[in-house]
Structure 1
């Protein structure tokens, strides 16, 4: 299963608006994407509540994973979004 590690760039972490943007993009993907903090349990990236309960703060590393046709492309899109300052 492909995985991508990415640092959270948003100054508020994956909370509120940034989490909503990530959840929306994850829901649009043709595969199911999970996300976890290093060493933690994976949760569905398309769930706003799941993203907020991760407690991923600015600078934390998260791991995205997906399987199936389009997995790598989906992971690249989500990683690029998480690596962007979503506070503006």
Structure 2
């Protein structure tokens, strides 16, 4: 399963505007991405409610993952890896 770790940099964590921007970016990838922290089961990163409910605070390390069975036929695992890299970069660059 393709996965990447990132540290949330938005000063308010993944709430309000930073969470909405992240969820929008995840949805645009076309992949079923999960986000988790502290070894807990991941939540659907395409769901604003689920992302905001998990309390991903500023400075917390999260893991993003794509389940290989959800990769569309017209995409590859390399595409999923690139998408995760871009999403991690977004989390680590947000200042909102």
Category of TM-score, reference length = shorter chain: over 0.9
- The gaps in structure 1 that reach 5 residues or longer are none
TM-score for the superposition, normalised by structure 1:
0.92
Higher-Rg structure is 2
Match in the other structure for 1:39: 39
RMSD between aligned residues: 1.0
Cα distance in 2 for partners of 1:52, 1:31 equals: 19
When you count helix as a share of all residues, which structure comes out higher?
A: 2
Shift in Å at residue 86 of structure 1?
3.5
- 3-state SS in 1 of match to 2:35: strand
- The gaps in structure 2 that reach 5 residues or longer are none
Whether 2:62 is the aligned partner of 1:62: answer: yes
Q: Which runs of structure 1 show a deviation greater than 2 angstroms over 4 or more consecutive aligned residues? A: none
